[in-house]
Amino acid sequence: MELSKENFDKARDFILANARMIERRLYDFHFNGGSATGVFHSVYAYRNNDGGFGFGMEPDTASPESQPLFSIMALEILDEVNYLNQELILKDFMPYFESITTDKGGIPWMFRPKSEYPCGGHFKTVKEWAALSTTSSLLGILEKHKIDIPWMKNAEKFVWSEIDRIQEKHVFCHLCIPRRLHFLEHTKNRKKAAIAINNLKTWIAADGVLSQDRLDDGWGLYGKPHSLSYFPYTENILNPIFSKETIESDIKGLIDKQKNDGRWDTWYGISEGTKLEWAGIQTLWTLKILKSYGRIKH
């Protein structure tokens, strides 16, 4: 099954009319051969003087303060468009990450906002301890770009200990698992990585992990993953887990989820405006999946 040209155009128009500048610039990069520099400038609009990123880079909070997760997201987006290099990472990102590193060697997921700005309730009760998802993503990017700094030694100890401790507990989180995989793909410790990757394959393929109810509005969102949540691109170090039939069925289910105005929706958002921003993020994510699988008709 393919996304028709008419429905692709609707999705494009939804992004251009409603999404944040980041998604519009990313759309331009992925589908029009646009500039990575444009993506860089849209990302750096969220950067603070301390080197971290804030100002609601995830639309569930408008708090301007720097957050570890937002700073990781900035790195990941710039990596996506091949803009990162050693100098940029070491100069613009690592001073902030080193300043927030905990005694355990990892960086937190989020900090509770200190200012009175709109935000989702889960930010007000967040645990501020070191997190596997953020720390593993940062380590994976450092390894990918052949960076070797003292900070990495304790961070790597922390990540391996957390992988052993958490095991399958976060496997339903298709935002956490790709960050763990990025580390496992690039770490020098290939023997331990192979074991961890095989464990993830077993845990993801277990009964009850994938959501089978495509009529559920949350299908494919947090806590209700489908196969494409783990395989958004055809090249994946988890291959093989799912059958071709499962992938094909979920591609059809994903295409069928498109709304009349061109969006793929979420239940996220703290306002009508941020709901549109989340829909822009989800719509671009879906288009990138369909492009990777060659399922957009031109």
DSSP, residue by residue, 135-186:
HHHHHHHHHHTT---THHHHHHHHHHHHHHHHTTTTTT-TTHHHHHHHHHHH
Residue 161 confidence (pLDDT)? 98
Query: Is 67 within the bounds of a domain?
Result: yes
The pLDDT tens digits of the residues spanning 47-103 come to 999 999 999 899 988 889 999 999 999 999 999 999 999 999 999 999 999 999 999
Give me the residue label for tokens 């468009």.
Answer: 81
Q: What is d(CA 283, CA 279) in angstroms, rounded to the nearest whole number?
A: 6
Query: Is 175 within the bounds of a domain?
Result: no
Q: What is the mean pLDDT of residues 191-201?
A: 96
Q: What is d(CA 253, CA 215) in angstroms, rounded to the nearest whole number?
A: 9
Domain count, the chain: 1
Phi, psi of 61 (to 5 degrees): -145, 140
Under a CB-based contact definition with an 8 Å cutoff, are residues 223 and 255 in contact?
no
Q: What is the mean pLDDT of residues 110-121?
A: 85
Mean pLDDT of the chain: 94
Q: What is d(CA 191, CA 251) in angstroms, rounded to the nearest whole number?
A: 33
The pLDDT tens digits of the residues spanning 129-167 come to 999 999 999 999 999 999 999 999 999 999 999 999 999
Under a CB-based contact definition with an 8 Å cutoff, are residues 62 and 56 in contact?
yes
The token pair that represents 56 in the structure block: 């609601």
Query: Is 3 within the bounds of a domain?
Result: no
Identity of the residue numbered 272: E
6 pLDDT exceeds 90? yes
Residue 115 confidence (pLDDT)? 79
Q: What is d(CA 39, CA 226) in angstroms, rounded to the nearest whole number?
A: 29
Closest CA to 289 of 248, 234, 243: 234
Q: Which of the four pLDDT bands, split at 50, 70 and 90, describes residue 19?
A: very high
Residue predicted with more confidence, 282 or 223: 282
Query: Is 217 within the bounds of a domain?
Result: no
SS3 88: helix
- Domain residues for 107? 35-166
Query: Is 143 within the bounds of a domain?
Result: yes
Query: Is 88 within the bounds of a domain?
Result: yes
Q: Give the whole-number percent of the chain exceeding pLDDT 90.
A: 83
Burial class (CB in 10 A: 0-12, 13-18, 19+), 121: exposed
| Region of poorest pLDDT, from 85-89, 258-262, 270-274 | 270-274
Q: Which of the four pLDDT bands, split at 50, 70 and 90, describes residue 121?
A: confident
The token pair that represents 37 in the structure block: 């520099």
Give me the residue label for tokens 């793909």.
Answer: 185
Query: Is 115 within the bounds of a domain?
Result: yes
Burial class (CB in 10 A: 0-12, 13-18, 19+), 124: exposed
Query: Is 294 within the bounds of a domain?
Result: no
170 pLDDT exceeds 90? no
